[in-house]
């Protein structure tokens, strides 16, 4: 019997790329193996290890929805070794992909609920997958409110998608930039995400909230949601930690007994409150 090596990536070809911002690019990838194009399945919020041959691997969320068949997308920010090498590739080039890994968002629990989706910077990548999933299964979900923030207008992600989503019935898109990051034409909000959230003061009313972004934004947003009366088991977020295997084997990502790669990266605020305090 042929044993599959878990660390062996599948080949994916870059078929399109979009520069979202000056340092953040979205790649659309198609499996070279045609049978994988339909067979590959995942949940919004899951991630993969993407490899540039001869350079290394980096972890990115799958930014497209499993409902969009035939391709996957990732959005990566220029950070270091692998992302620099990835930036040098072109449409038509091959890279490696292994996954999907992690638990993903609890989409079954979210069904029938109003959703408040809050994203900052590249934290919007897993949320894009979730939003597309909700919109492709529109009748399964209630009202969707999206709060998207970035440092400056130029740093806002998925500008085209935000516009399209905002035109759909039952979807409201609110965008904000940090003070000083606005332009004269800017018609959105100006303020840090937790402050804008505080000002919007959404009512819990059985809603689920999903928050992804830099740790500092998550920390203060969770505090605001707590003050507004949202139950910690209805507030969902994602965690990042250094990772190597992605499979729960190497012990690189764990916080006490919890493996971010396997038990996460999606956790509720109630889960986070139970983690060891010194992480
Ligand atoms: C579950 C998960 C999902 C992610 N999804 C995305 C995504 O969708 N898009 C995206 O752009 N990035 C994402 N990241 C972060 C991404 O994996 C790192 O930025 C990536 O390793 C950069 O690779 P590199 O080789 O270019 O940088 P490196 O040369 O490895 O590192 C550059 C710098 O970033 C630091 N660093 C690397 N990884 C991490 C990390 N996980 N946490 C904190 N610091 C780190 C290094 O210490 C170094 O200082 C995700 C991380 C995790 C764990
Ligand atoms: S990345 Fe290896 S155990 Fe999580």
CATH topology agreement for domains 10-101 and 107-238: no
Say which residue the tokens 């990566």 belong to: 76
Q: Residue 7 corresponds to which tokens in the numbers above?
A: 């660390």
Average pLDDT in the chain: 95
Candidates 3.40.50.80, 3.40.190.10, 3.20.20.70, 3.40.50.1450; correct CATH number of 107-238? 3.40.50.80
Where does ligand 2 bind, in terms of residues with CB under 6 Å?
243-246, 248-253, 259, 261
Tell me the CA–centroid distance for residue 254 and ligand 2, in Å. Answer: 7
pLDDT at 275: 85
77, 83 Cβ separation under 8 angstroms: yes
Tell me the CA–centroid distance for residue 59 and ligand 1, in Å. Answer: 6
Question: Does 237 contact ligand 1 (Cβ within 6 A)?
Answer: no
Candidates 3.40.1710.10, 3.40.1170.10, 3.20.20.150, 2.40.30.10; correct CATH number of 10-101? 2.40.30.10
225, 202 Cβ separation under 8 angstroms: no
Q: Residue 134 corresponds to which tokens in the numbers above?
A: 């909700």
Share of the chain above pLDDT 90, in %: 92
The crossing angle, in degrees rounded to 10, of helices 193-200 and 215-227 is: 20
The residue ranges of every structural domain in the chain are: 10-101, 107-238
Provide the H-helix boundaries in 5-151.
Answer: 34-39, 81-87, 107-110, 124-136
Atom index in ligand 2 nearest the CA of residue 243 equals 1
pTM for this prediction: 0.94
The crossing angle, in degrees rounded to 10, of helices 124-136 and 159-166 is: 30
Q: CA 255 to CA 262: how far, in whole Å?
A: 12
**For range 155-176, the mean pLDDT:** 96
Which of 43, 79, 253, 263 has most ligand 1 atoms within 8 Å of CB, for mutation?
79
Q: CA 164 to CA 193: how far, in whole Å?
A: 22
Tell me the CA–centroid distance for residue 130 and ligand 1, in Å. Answer: 21
Tell me the CA–centroid distance for residue 174 and ligand 1, in Å. Answer: 27
**What φ, ψ does residue 47 adopt, rounded to 5°?**
-130, 175
pLDDT tens digit sequence for 113-146: 999 999 999 999 999 999 999 999 999 999 999 9
pLDDT tens digit sequence for 35-64: 999 899 999 999 999 999 999 999 999 999
pLDDT tens digit sequence for 209-242: 999 999 999 999 999 999 999 999 999 999 988 9
């Amino acid at each position: 019997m042929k044993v599959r090596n878990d660390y062996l990536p599948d080949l994916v070809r870059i078929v399109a790329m979009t520069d979202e911002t000056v340092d953040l690019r979205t790649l659309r990838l198609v499996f070279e193996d045609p049978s994988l194009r339909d067979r590959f399945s995942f949940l919004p919020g899951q991630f993969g290890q993407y490899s540039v041959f001869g350079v290394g691997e980096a972890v990115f969320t799958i930014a497209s929805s499993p409902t969009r068949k035939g391709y996957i997308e990732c959005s990566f920010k220029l950070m270091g070794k692998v992302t620099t090498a990835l930036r040098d590739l072109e449409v038509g080039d091959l890279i490696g992909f292994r996954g999907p890994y992690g638990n993903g968002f609890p989409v079954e629990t979210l069904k029938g609920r109003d959703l408040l989706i809050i994203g900052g910077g590249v934290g919007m990548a897993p949320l894009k997958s979730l939003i597309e999933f909700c919109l492709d299964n529109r009748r399964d979900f209630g009202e969707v409110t999206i709060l998207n923030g970035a440092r400056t207008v130029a740093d806002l992600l998925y500008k085209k998608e935000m516009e399209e989503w905002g035109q759909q019935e039952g979807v409201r898109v609110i965008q904000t930039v940090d003070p000083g990051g606005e332009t004269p034409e800017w018609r959105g909000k100006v303020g840090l995400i937790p402050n804008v959230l505080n000002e919007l003061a959404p009512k819990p009313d059985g809603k689920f909230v999903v928050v992804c972004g830099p740790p500092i934004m998550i920390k203060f947003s969770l505090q605001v949601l707590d003050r507004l009366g949202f139950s910690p088991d209805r507030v969902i977020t994602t965690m990042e930690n250094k990772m190597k295997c992605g499979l729960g084997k190497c012990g690189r990502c764990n916080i006490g007994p919890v493996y971010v790669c396997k038990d996460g990266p999606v956790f509720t605020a109630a889960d986070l409150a139970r983690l060891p305090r010194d992480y």
